[in-house]
Structure 1
Amino acid sequence: MAFLKLCSLSFLLSTAFAADTYAPVSATCASTALVRDASGLSTEETTWAESRKAIADEALKTWLAKQNSAWADATTLPKLALSSSGGGYRAMLGGAGVIKGFDSRDSNVSTSGLWQALTYHAGLSGGAWLVSSVAGNNWPTISSLVTGLWGNTLDETLLLAEGLDGAIDIAADLKAKHKAGFDTTLTDTWGRLLSYQILYGDNGGVNKTLSDIAGLSEYTSHNAPFPIMTSTGVKLWEGECKPDTLGTQYEFSPLEFGSWDSGVAAFVQTEYLGSSLSNGAPSGGDCVTGYDNLGYMFGTSSSLFNLACIPAEVNATEIGTLLYEILIKVHEAATSDLFGVFPNPFYQYTASSDIADQDTLYLVDGAESNQNVPLWPLIQPARAIDVIFANDLSADTDFNWPNGTGILQAYETAMAEGLTTMPEIPSIETFVSEALNTKAVFFGCNDPDAITIIYLPNFSFSAASNVSTLQLEYEAILTSELVANGVQIASNGGKADFGPCLACGIMQKSGATLPSECTDCLASYCYN
């Protein structure tokens, strides 16, 4: 049956007509500088985060008072963030359950209300799909996404997204982008297929861009956390197909794209990604907008095709066959098609010494440096985050459970880079032997100079949540079960002491005097 569909697809794609909504377009450049050094936050993010923090503080104060009346008059409140790991649909749905368990609009558990208290939310790969589905649809509740979108789109594999008509639209989208003078790769097809499943809107939300999120009502009213996605750079020009553990970490937000890492150390306005720039200035007069198509952004964050390194090897899978069926209607496949491809906005930019001579950046899944929990954007001193909820739905073990690799790698990278904001993270052996990967754990409690990380790993509280990362089809009941289990992950299985003890772990970073009840709580939940 799949073969017949692909044969029909091949014929229909050959007659596809060009679309006009996916292709980037020429536009007048902004009057402000397009590129800046990574010496701190942009003025725009600083201003936005300050306004968001004021609203988040009120929500946090309300939540704290529910846990212990001693917090009712708290004044100095920590800045909170959530990190959603990669792991395909398992991570997207389990992570969605964590959001539901934090969201006072959508649940009534011990952690309900913490979503309203977050200032930042970062995700990669499956976590980036989650960030994008929530932020790109203007932050609806998870329950409404399950009943109104995911329940209707995840029960068929990507191969059947919107049927053959959807595949024809995707081919037309790629042709339009190619005709406009831009490379199209497997990441384009991948992002477009995913978009049909996680974005509302015509043609799979084809006209949604990452920078457009900054104009949505929940963003402009500062009623939701600031969204960030991550990806990893690959030095294809040096023959590298896969990054090492110190591979450059790039981040995408509605405001900027770039990296804090030395060798790049710069950011460009997201809206003008795709523009031809030299030393931070337009090299051809006009700029480009629309390159930051939201599907292309979260497609890049989850692009693993480079692991083959030889394009033909991707055809070993049915999804690989479909991707190539679409792509080869635009151009013959090449090794560069295995990456998310971006005109280098930091070409000839002085601060970006590692990439200044390259006209193209090649990006892949944000977890390919083994940092499957996207902590890197959140531990940067410029963002001054005090507490991070690290939701880990990685498949580190043979049975698709996390074992701490994601946050340990982030810690080791931070140490190698001289970044002291990460608390000490134990070895994998310790994680497993002490069962730290099966329950909520607080890292950094006793280090006043480090961020506190509230580790929330995947565990089978109410469902067998160790679904394979490669599973592409989710019946509605499985989708609901994984989300429900995610609520349990958020609330540590509904343990009666978790809310009050979590309040102690959060407020320890405020420097405030803690209630006496916190002594036993911190002894129970804090590592070391």
Structure 2
Amino acid sequence: MKLDTSLASASLLLSAASASVVIPRDPTPEQAAAVALAAVKRGSPQAPNGYTPAEVACPSSRPTLRNALSLSSEETAWLEKRRNNTVSPMRELLGRLNITGFDSNSYIENAANNVSALPNIGIAVSGGGYRALMNGAGAAAAFDSRTPNSTNTGHLGGLLQAATYFAGLSGGGWLVSSLYGNNFTSVQDIINTTPEQSGSLWQFGNSIFEGPDTGGIQVLSTAQYYSTLEDQVSGKRDAGFDTSITDYWGRALAFQLLNASSGGPGYTYSSISDDSYFQNGDSPMPILVADGREPGQLVISSNTTNFEFNPWEMGSYDPTVFGFVPLRYVGSNFSAGLGEDNNDIADWSPNPFYNWSNETNPSAQSKRLTLVDGGEDLQNIPFNPLIQPLRNVDVIFAVDSSADTVTEEALNWPNGTAMVATYERSLNASMGNGTIFPSVPDQNTFVNLGLNSHPTMFGCDASNFSSTTPLVVYIPNSPYIYHSNVSTYTMSYNNTERNAIIENGYDVATMGNGTVDPQWPTCVGCAIMSRSWNRTGTTVPDVCTDCFNRYCWNGTVNSTTPNPYVPTMALDEINVQSAAGHFMPTTYSLVAAVAASLAFVL
């Protein structure tokens, strides 16, 4: 039986008015850095032979492929712990958000014995390479009560602690994987460390084509760096598994995203399920998303199988596959749902869904499962796992760092394409599997009405839906203090620019800590509570009615061709000396983009 490959292969894979996240804590910088270093140190690696897949004894309970009629037994048991652990941070958060006319303490106290009545929160971070990682990190810092000043008036600290699910895709998946791959550390603690302490963790000054700079536990010359990558990947190849540029891409990213020697080739995504902080329900559940695609197939949202990876399983709720396998043993052969003892594997990635759902599964007769970046079907925000009816998510905070706009003066801002793609897919009865997504307008309307320039809520009126549908709080990347619309193909950032993009992301999520709109934090509280109030028959406070009138899309459509989209700075711009850029050469950029897409293959 084969164990899954490294954590990187699973995800890193998978492609002024601000409370700055670089503000030091009360201790001295040296003390703060020491605390941060302790926080980001990873547990022990679990892969027995590093990046090389290895044979292990089969467990007493034979791994099998299950249908997707229910959540896994592991997730169900974990949810009991996690939902209970969200009660206290939710009480604290709602108390700070100051919803006039609503006694949050009494409400939560009354529901303490029935946590299903309380809000079930999901966070989704889009793809978009390093731009998505850094902008998403800003939002994560804003939602994290561990970030200094994040629990002050106007801030949203504690939302992360109150959330049940945290999904990432492509660059957003790098963020999720990096946080969880370093013991669910905070963005602040990563920023507080120095290269001498944590090696190349989030040190983007040297691109992945150059390798880590001097300092820390991972000091390598460029030649040694490439030699290390080759040794790691060749071990997999020599074990009889196919390899590609994807393996090199994932291993290179791991040097920047994991605080471990040589990029942590022995760390696995499934090992998160063994980390005490996760086992105890002290963090949201991380989920990554990829798309299934046959070679030569045109990927469009209506015909693409969406796969998810969580700490226990990989699989899909889509009708095409509708099954899950244990992630820890995903390197094993499965046939018609049973793990085989035969380890004579011809392909490096035996399809765990071989002969499964033969009538609907497009890869059922293929010995190889080919997966690509979860954003290739234009669903660049990982909604799919969070809109599954089995998970009963009430509200999704969707951070969109997509590069949709093509105006020469202002490239790489979102225009709602990811929202439209998921909505259109939900209308496809053959793929929807009971999922419902709120109505959204076309991309031209997003731009014409400014829905892509500030937070907007969709699906506010639950009475418009025949079954439970999450309210979506759409948070598009926009310039508050810095032009964070950097190219997906910019591969190098100095720490000053990195921090500026993260800080801008913090301001995007908080609307400048309430300076752009002092009511925004209260409106976030209203969005959190909306579905819960609906379940319990609670009257919506007047202040929330006002919020929904202001922030919910009201159905207006303006599909005329918009003027060139050139957003203006919401707050005072900060001056930052950016890095040289290190753009990938044009030809190689295409190859690397494919590599990033394929990097989700386990």
Q: Same fold (TM over 0.5)?
A: yes
Structure-2-length-normalised TM-score: 0.73
**Equivalent runs, 1:51-450 vs 2, <5 Å:** 51-68=81-98, 70-74=103-107, 75=111, 76-109=117-150, 110-148=155-193, 153-162=203-212, 163-236=222-295, 239-240=296-297, 242-246=298-302, 247-285=304-342, 342-350=349-357, 353-398=361-406, 399-416=411-428, 417-418=431-432, 419-448=434-463, 449-450=468-469
1:44 maps to a residue whose letter is: E
Tell me what 1:292 maps to. Answer: none
Deviation at 1:145, TM superposition (A): 1.4
Deviation at 1:72, TM superposition (A): 1.8
- SS at the partner of 1:153? coil
- SS at the partner of 1:206? coil
Q: Give the Cα–Cα distance (whole angstroms) in 1 for the partners of residues 513 and 550 of structure 2.
A: 16
Deviation at 1:430, TM superposition (A): 1.1
Relative distance call for 1:395 and 1:212 in structure 2 (3 A) is: same
Q: Give the Cα–Cα distance (whole angstroms) in 1 for the partners of residues 201 and 96 of structure 2.
A: 33
Deviation at 1:206, TM superposition (A): 1.0
Tell me what 2:552 maps to. Answer: 526
- SS at the partner of 1:390? strand
- SS at the partner of 2:167? strand
Runs of 4+ in 1 over 6 A off after TM superposition: none
1:367 maps to a residue whose letter is: G
- SS at the partner of 2:232? helix
Deviation at 1:65, TM superposition (A): 1.4
Q: Deviations over 1:33-55 (max 9, x none)?
A: 42101112101011112211111
2:519 maps to a residue whose letter is: D
Q: 1:497 aligns with which of 512, 519, 540?
A: 519
Q: Is the 8 A contact 1:153 1:197 kept in 2?
A: yes
Of 255-264 and 388-397, more deviation after overlay is shown by: 255-264
1:436 maps to a residue whose letter is: L
Q: Give the Cα–Cα distance (whole angstroms) in 1 for the partners of residues 421 and 70 of structure 2.
A: 24
1:483 aligns with 2:483: no
Q: Give the Cα–Cα distance (whole angstroms) in 2 for the partners of residues 151 and 207 of structure 1.
A: 17
- SS at the partner of 2:85? helix
Relative distance call for 1:101 and 1:95 in structure 2 (3 A) is: same
Q: Give the Cα–Cα distance (whole angstroms) in 1 for the partners of residues 357 and 423 of structure 2.
A: 29
Of 82-91 and 51-60, more deviation after overlay is shown by: 51-60
Q: Is the 8 A contact 1:20 1:176 kept in 2?
A: no
Tell me what 2:531 maps to. Answer: 509
Deviation at 1:444, TM superposition (A): 0.7
Q: Is the 8 A contact 1:100 1:107 kept in 2?
A: no
1:490 maps to a residue whose letter is: A
Q: Is the 8 A contact 2:190 2:202 kept in 1?
A: no
Q: Give the Cα–Cα distance (whole angstroms) in 2 for the partners of residues 517 and 211 of structure 1.
A: 44
Relative distance call for 1:420 and 1:347 in structure 2 (3 A) is: closer
Tell me what 1:331 maps to. Answer: none
Q: Give the Cα–Cα distance (whole angstroms) in 2 for the partners of residues 426 and 54 of structure 1.
A: 37
Q: Is the 8 A contact 2:388 2:435 kept in 1?
A: no
Q: Is the 8 A contact 1:29 1:287 kept in 2?
A: no
Q: Is the 8 A contact 2:201 2:256 kept in 1?
A: no
Of 44-53 and 467-476, more deviation after overlay is shown by: 44-53
1:72 maps to a residue whose letter is: N
Structure-1-length-normalised TM-score: 0.83
1:457 maps to a residue whose letter is: P
2:87 maps to a residue whose letter is: D
Q: Give the Cα–Cα distance (whole angstroms) in 2 for the partners of residues 165 and 465 of structure 1.
A: 33
Q: Is the 8 A contact 1:391 1:456 kept in 2?
A: yes
Q: Is the 8 A contact 1:373 1:392 kept in 2?
A: yes
Q: Is the 8 A contact 1:507 1:514 kept in 2?
A: no
Relative distance call for 1:35 and 1:287 in structure 2 (3 A) is: farther
Tell me what 2:68 maps to. Answer: 38
Q: Is the 8 A contact 1:121 1:225 kept in 2?
A: yes
Q: Which has the larger strand fraction?
A: 1
Deviation at 1:349, TM superposition (A): 2.1
Q: Is the 8 A contact 2:387 2:469 kept in 1?
A: no
Q: Give the Cα–Cα distance (whole angstroms) in 2 for the partners of residues 369 and 285 of structure 1.
A: 35
Q: Give the Cα–Cα distance (whole angstroms) in 1 for the partners of residues 272 and 159 of structure 2.
A: 22
Of 171-180 and 277-286, more deviation after overlay is shown by: 277-286
Q: Give the Cα–Cα distance (whole angstroms) in 2 for the partners of residues 272 and 156 of structure 1.
A: 35
Q: Give the Cα–Cα distance (whole angstroms) in 1 for the partners of residues 70 and 343 of structure 2.
A: 28
- SS at the partner of 2:474? strand
Relative distance call for 1:471 and 1:49 in structure 2 (3 A) is: same
Q: Give the Cα–Cα distance (whole angstroms) in 1 for the partners of residues 52 and 372 of structure 2.
A: 21
Relative distance call for 1:80 and 1:502 in structure 2 (3 A) is: same
Unaligned runs of 5+ in 1: 1-18, 289-335
Deviation at 1:32, TM superposition (A): 4.4
Q: Give the Cα–Cα distance (whole angstroms) in 2 for the partners of residues 223 and 513 of structure 1.
A: 32
Q: Give the Cα–Cα distance (whole angstroms) in 2 for the partners of residues 151 and 132 of structure 1.
A: 13
Q: Give the Cα–Cα distance (whole angstroms) in 1 for the partners of residues 544 and 284 of structure 2.
A: 28
Relative distance call for 1:140 and 1:287 in structure 2 (3 A) is: farther
Relative distance call for 1:474 and 1:29 in structure 2 (3 A) is: same
Relative distance call for 1:230 and 1:420 in structure 2 (3 A) is: closer
Q: Is the 8 A contact 1:441 1:527 kept in 2?
A: yes
Deviation at 1:166, TM superposition (A): 1.8
Deviation at 1:372, TM superposition (A): 0.5
- SS at the partner of 2:542? coil
1:514 maps to a residue whose letter is: V
Q: Give the Cα–Cα distance (whole angstroms) in 1 for the partners of residues 62 and 471 of structure 2.
A: 36
Q: Is the 8 A contact 2:321 2:357 kept in 1?
A: no
Deviation at 1:516, TM superposition (A): 2.2
Q: Is the 8 A contact 1:463 1:481 kept in 2?
A: yes
Deviation at 1:57, TM superposition (A): 2.4
Deviation at 1:187, TM superposition (A): 1.1
Relative distance call for 1:255 and 1:20 in structure 2 (3 A) is: closer
1:452 aligns with 2:508: no
Q: Give the Cα–Cα distance (whole angstroms) in 2 for the partners of residues 29 and 280 of structure 1.
A: 16
Unaligned runs of 5+ in 2: 1-47, 112-116, 213-221, 555-602
Q: Is the 8 A contact 2:403 2:413 kept in 1?
A: yes
- SS at the partner of 1:159? coil
Q: Give the Cα–Cα distance (whole angstroms) in 2 for the partners of residues 93 and 479 of structure 1.
A: 7
Q: Give the Cα–Cα distance (whole angstroms) in 2 for the partners of residues 273 and 47 of structure 1.
A: 22
Q: Is the 8 A contact 1:87 1:393 kept in 2?
A: yes
Q: Deviations over 1:297-319 (max 9, x none)?
A: xxxxxxxxxxxxxxxxxxxxxxx
Of 107-116 and 482-491, more deviation after overlay is shown by: 107-116
